């Protein structure tokens, strides 16, 4: 792929996104056979581990795709980016008194730090932090946290058919002892406003939204456009968009955030459904999806694809 070795090229050169997507897809395919599909949510374990798709949406309004880029999958923790965005957009900055902004260095579903840190989760992108953010969003929306997230993805993607997969949400609720434990622990410190049951129901629901790489890339454009929505209205201030991207870089891929920054060099949010939504500020949003996960819960194929994309093109924040 000599023609693709563009690193070092001048900033505004023409970028052949389709060619880059094809090279990224080839890199993803080479990871076949590594990683495991998440099975702690039984309804997720039924997905083909070899599926792969990738989409790029540019701030100019172009969309490029490769593989199964229009196939819906369970967005899971990618929704944590959307809940935080909506909370900050609705003036919920006081959430920062209830959740931190530091990488945890621990697995996404860990409880250990909560005990010594008084029920204040390290950051909004681990499960504990996302539960607090969902609680805040639920209050801000008058009791419609998951619906607000779904509406947002529908509007930004222009896909009104998007929906929450009730089977996935029910499956997670049924096996959600770990999330119930951490939510109760947080509540014991007075850090939940709504009931544990309500917050978990909303949390499972927004995690269970089914959307494609195309839908998520188009939604992620809000952060690539420094806070502007698809209709040109402002959702976030430029500074808020910068801050969300910063937390995505440092905390978006859990205890592998250092490795992800090293390999990919973009802010990104992963989910155990195998999706990763990455932001190239000012330029594009990129979503890659492959269900087989590494031990940290990040998609092996999606990380490989994003690594190839930024390495071949030189398009990263660094
Ligand atoms: O709460 C959970 O465990 C899932 N609903 C989401 C976890 C997740 O996606 C972590 N991502 N890598």
How far is the centre of ligand 1, averaged over its atoms, from the C-alpha of 149 (Å)? 16
Q: Report the pLDDT value the prediction gives residue 27, as an integer from 0 to 100.
A: 98
Q: Report the pLDDT value the prediction gives residue 14, as an integer from 0 to 100.
A: 82
Ligand 1 neighbourhood includes 76 CB (under 6 angstroms): yes
| 209 SS3 class | strand
Which pairs from 90-97 meet CB under 8 Å and 24+ separation?
Answer: 90/137, 90/140, 90/141, 91/140, 92/136, 92/137, 92/140, 94/136, 95/124, 95/132, 95/133, 95/136
Nearest-angstrom CA–CA distance, 224 and 146? 23
**Which residues are 289's β-sheet partners?**
53, 275
pTM above 0.90, yes or no: yes
Q: Report the pLDDT value the prediction gives residue 13, as an integer from 0 to 100.
A: 63
Nearest-angstrom CA–CA distance, 191 and 208? 24
Backbone dihedral angles phi then psi of residue 223, each to the nearest 5 degrees? -80, -30
User: Which homologous superfamily does the CATH classification assign to the domain defined by 14-313?
Assistant: DD-peptidase/beta-lactamase superfamily (3.40.710.10)
| Residue whose CA is at the smallest distance from ligand 1 atom 2 | 127
pLDDT along the chain (318 residues), means of 10: 46 82 98 95 93 98 98 98 98 97 93 94 98 98 98 98 97 96 98 98 98 98 98 98 98 96 98 98 98 96 98 97
Q: Which of 7, 6, 14, 11 is nearest to 62 (CA)?
A: 14
Using CA atoms, how far residue 278 sits from 95, 121, 164, 173, in Å, is 24, 23, 22, 28
Ligand 1 neighbourhood includes 127 CB (under 6 angstroms): yes
- The answer on whether 77 is annotated among ligand-binding residues is yes
| Residue whose CA is at the smallest distance from ligand 1 atom 1 | 127
Q: Are the C-beta atoms of residues 312 and 32 closer than 8 Å to each other?
A: no
Ligand 1 neighbourhood includes 207 CB (under 6 angstroms): yes
Tokens of 279: 């932001």
Nearest-angstrom CA–CA distance, 251 and 266? 12
Q: Are the C-beta atoms of residues 66 and 24 closer than 8 Å to each other?
A: yes
Q: Report the pLDDT value the prediction gives residue 166, as an integer from 0 to 100.
A: 97
Domain boundaries, the chain: 14-313
How far is the centre of ligand 1, averaged over its atoms, from the C-alpha of 254 (Å)? 11
């Amino acid at each position: 792929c000599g023609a693709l070795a563009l690193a070092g090229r001048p900033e505004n050169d023409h970028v052949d996104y389709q060619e880059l997507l094809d090279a990224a897809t080839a890199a993803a395919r080479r990871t076949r056979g590594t990683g495991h599909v998440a099975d702690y949510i039984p309804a997720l374990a039924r997905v083909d581990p070899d599926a792969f798709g990738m989409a790029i949406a540019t701030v100019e309004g172009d969309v490029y795709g490769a593989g199964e880029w229009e196939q819906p999958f369970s967005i899971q923790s990618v929704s944590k980016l959307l809940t935080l965005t909506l909370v900050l957009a609705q003036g919920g900055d006081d959430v920062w008194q209830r959740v931190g902004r530091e990488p945890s260095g621990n697995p996404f579903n860990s409880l250990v730090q909560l005990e010594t840190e008084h029920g204040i989760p390290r950051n909004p992108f681990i499960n504990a932090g996302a539960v607090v953010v969902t609680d805040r969003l639920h209050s801000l929306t008058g009791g419609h946290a998951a619906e607000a997230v779904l509406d947002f993805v529908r509007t930004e993607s222009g896909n009104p058919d998007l929906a929450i997969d009730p089977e996935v949400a029910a499956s997670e609720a049924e096996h959600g002892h770990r999330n119930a434990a951490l939510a109760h622990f947080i509540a014991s410190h007075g850090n939940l406003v709504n009931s544990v049951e309500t917050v978990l129901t909303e949390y499972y629901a927004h995690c269970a939204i089914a959307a494609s790489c195309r839908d998520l890339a188009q939604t992620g454009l809000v952060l690539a456009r420094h806070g502007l929505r698809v209709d040109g209205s402002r959702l976030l201030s430029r500074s808020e968009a910068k801050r969300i991207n910063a937390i995505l870089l440092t905390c978006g891929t859990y205890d592998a955030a250092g490795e992800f920054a090293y390999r990919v060099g973009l802010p990104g949010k992963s989910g155990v459904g195998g999706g990763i939504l990455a932001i190239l500020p000012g330029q594009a949003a990129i979503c890659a999806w492959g269900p087989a996960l590494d031990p940290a819960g990040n998609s092996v194929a999606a990380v490989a694809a994003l690594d190839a994309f930024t390495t071949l093109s030189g398009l990263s924040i660094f």
